Amino acid sequence: MAVTFRQLKYFLVLSEELHFSRAAEKLNISQPPLSASLRQLEERLGFKLMERTSKYVRLTPAGTIFADQAARILGQLDSAMTIAAETAKGAAGELSVGFVPSMLFRDLPAKLKAFQNSHPRVDLILHEMNTTRQIESLLEHKIDVGFVHAVPLPNGISHKVLETERLVACVPRWHRLASKSRIRISELAGERMMVFSRSFAAHYHDKITALLRTANLEPDTSFHIQHWFTVVALVKQGMGVSLVPSSLSSSVFSDVVFLEVEERQAEHDIAQIWRSDNTSPMLQNLLLGLPRFETRL
Amino acid sequence: MAVTFRQLKYFLVLSEELHFSRAAEKLNISQPPLSASLRQLEERLGFKLMERTSKYVRLTPAGTIFADQAARILGQLDSAMTIAAETAKGAAGELSVGFVPSMLFRDLPAKLKAFQNSHPRVDLILHEMNTTRQIESLLEHKIDVGFVHAVPLPNGISHKVLETERLVACVPRWHRLASKSRIRISELAGERMMVFSRSFAAHYHDKITALLRTANLEPDTSFHIQHWFTVVALVKQGMGVSLVPSSLSSSVFSDVVFLEVEERQAEHDIAQIWRSDNTSPMLQNLLLGLPRFETRL
DNA sequence: CTCCATAATACGTAAATTGGTATCAATATA
DNA sequence: TATATTGATACCAATTTACGTATTATGGAG
């Protein structure tokens, strides 16, 4: 015969009431089975939990200790069920999120904050990394979801395009084209065209390079740039011009001008990616909870 | 249907083995009941704990959490049973001990240390107080056992005499009687007789006073002394003489001499006292574990 | 000394639990 | 395609449990 949760519960109520009939009533059973339950528990444990006569019922020292522990055990079972249920619903746990830096210019932070508010027991772990690393990390189970520039994906990775973003030309304020609001890329012929390093974001680099080549332009390879901000800063200093995502054309930059570009292909996709076999409800909640992104202007 | 310890145990083994047949073997049951047990547990919880096909068995995220908690719960039940059993045996808990200061000259400290060694999970709480306070504290459940000078006891307090101690006369080294080894109290006639305050230990004071009166002596009431050491120190300085427990006649005092006393009544009892209705096994262990005391010389 | 409140005991029954055997279903492998 | 492995399912028997009713035992209180 083993100790049961029921015995613990009965004993616990009994230890609060210190009265068999009242405790039995509270438990919606009659008094004899309650007596029996306690007796069996004591038999199993090998020592008395309560001293009782028809005049008083009181805990033994060992009973006091055991009642305390019983309460803890029952509470722990309860919280175990709750926590596990929350995990099962995707309301608790850890979720690792990868993102390319430019997501910070969109409303990823706000969206994640909103998700965090609606899922307070989920720990979001954020990793800034480029698209290639995110794909690797997904396959290695190091992240659960990535926010990337759309690229060809290996098997086992699903994706959803969140946004298609135009590229815009970035030139200094005093540039000959600065007064136009819309140009064709070929109009930039002869300019030094700056693009960040291919090693930093290969697919994106290749995309822009291909686009430039349709207009008979070549990126300048003498720069090893790691970040959009650097590109804009260099443009501002007259080092050259560039093609950048329109999300960058915010008012935080002065002395540079962003010009729309006519070419239809001057755009790229922002996508979220995840392992196709990842059925975690937490992930599903996140994917559903983050609808279209908007660019923060 | 409620969660059972058995279900937790089965699930726990399963979560370690990740293989139904092997886990069933380990549990000494056949495989089908194990499948059934897990299914019932999942039904009760409302979510899946394991994903399983004929090719693999693995924990869901919620299952991982729950397995962890289940282990904790089972461990807690185990330790609850152990700790409570120890308390029931008197091997764990708290025991408050009162004692009159002079017990420190006997081997109470060594005896308590021995008890502590054989009952490492019992916390001994020591309270130095006079006999009267100990009786009060016992009745108020503030202490469990007291070491006192034998006095009349109220109902509900049991006692056992541990030792009968002779009183000895204490005189300065240069005293006219110092060369004798044995005197009668009446030989001290005319000396200033010092006794510590009645308020400090009434019964003991009264006992000595009565003894002196049989020899037509009176204690000097101008001293308000709280401790035996003070009495001896005053004797040493020639302030008077005294009657003290023989346990004090140790070699740590110089320039004073302790003389045996002929009167048969020149003795008092050391006793342990406890509440008669206190059935705590811890107390019984202590009472049994502390046989006759010896005076430390 | 009787009564009253209360816990223990006796006993019967319905239900659940537990675990077995036999078999099925799914899937990877030879 | 046949086979082997493995978990799921169906079904049954035995046991245990859980609980109720009726009754008894105990120990203060009036």
| B115 DSSP β-pair partners | none
C-alpha A211/C-alpha A18 separation (Å) is 84
For the stretch A123-178, pLDDT in tens is: 999 998 989 899 999 988 899 999 998 888 998 899 999 888 899 999 999 999 99
Model pLDDT, residue A71: 93
Model pLDDT, residue A295: 45
Rounded to an integer, the average pLDDT of A75-81 is: 94
Q: A191-195, B107-111, B125-129, B249-253: which range is least confident on average?
A: B249-253
CATH number 3.30.70.100 given to A165-268: no
C-alpha A85/C-alpha B65 separation (Å) is 10
Taking contacts as CB-CB distances below 8 angstroms, the residues of chain B near A47 are: 84-85, 88-89
For chain C, which bases have at least one atom within 7 A of a protein Cβ?
5-11, 16-22, 25-28
Selected for mutation to probe chain B from A77, A79, A121, A284 (highest B CB count within 10 Å) is: A77
Q: A50-54, A236-240, B12-16, B105-109: which range is least confident on average?
A: B105-109
A60 sits in which H/E element: none
What is the architecture of the domain spanning A5-89? Orthogonal Bundle (1.10)
The three-class DSSP label of residue B275 is strand
CB atoms within 10 A of CB B248: 22
For residue B297, is pLDDT > 70?
Answer: no
Nearest residue by alpha-carbon distance to C1' of D25: A54
Taking contacts as CB-CB distances below 8 angstroms, the residues of chain A near B46 are: 85, 88
Contact A84 B77 (CB under 8 A): no
Q: Where in chain B is the domain with CATH 3.40.190.10?
A: 92-161+269-289, 165-268
C-alpha B248/C-alpha B228 separation (Å) is 8
The three-class DSSP label of residue A19 is coil
* Residue position matching structure tokens 């996508």: A271
For residue A293, is pLDDT > 60?
Answer: no
For the stretch A24-69, pLDDT in tens is: 988 999 899 999 999 999 999 999 999 988 888 889 889 999 999 9
Q: Does the predicted TM-score (pTM) go above 0.95?
A: no
CB A127 under 7 Å to nucleic chain C: no
Q: Where in chain A is the domain with CATH 1.10.10.10?
A: 5-89
Model pLDDT, residue A190: 87
Contact A3, A42 (CB under 8 A): no
Measured CA to C1', the nucleotide nearest B53 is D7
CB B21 under 7 Å to nucleic chain C: no
For residue A292, is pLDDT > 60?
Answer: no
Contact A5 B4 (CB under 8 A): yes
Task: Tell me the CA end-to-end span of chain A in Å, nearest whole number.
Answer: 70
CB atoms within 10 A of CB B203: 17
For the stretch B17-27, pLDDT in tens is: 899 999 998 89
The minimal CB distance from A45 to the residues B47, B48, B81 is found for B81
For residue B37, is pLDDT > 50?
Answer: yes
What's the topology of domain B92-161+269-289? D-Maltodextrin-Binding Protein; domain 2 (3.40.190)
Measured CA to C1', the nucleotide nearest B4 is C17
Q: Considering chain A, what percentage of its residues have pLDDT values greater than 70? A: 97
- Percentages of chain A per state (helix, strand, coil), in multiples of 5: 45, 25, 35
Using alpha carbons, select from B207, B225, B228, B209 the residue that is nearest to residue B217. Answer: B209
For the stretch B235-289, pLDDT in tens is: 988 888 999 888 887 767 888 999 999 999 889 889 999 988 787 888 888 988 7
Instruction: Give B100 to chain A, closest Cα distance, Å.
Output: 27
Residues lining strand D, beta carbon within 7 angstroms: A 1-2, 4, 6-7, 28-30, 32-33, 36-37, 53-55; B 19-21, 31-32, 35-36, 38-39, 52-55, 57
Q: Two tokens at B92? A: 């764990």
For the stretch A162-220, pLDDT in tens is: 888 899 999 999 999 999 989 999 999 889 999 888 887 888 888 888 888 888 898 88
Identify which has the larger pLDDT, B101 or A76. A76
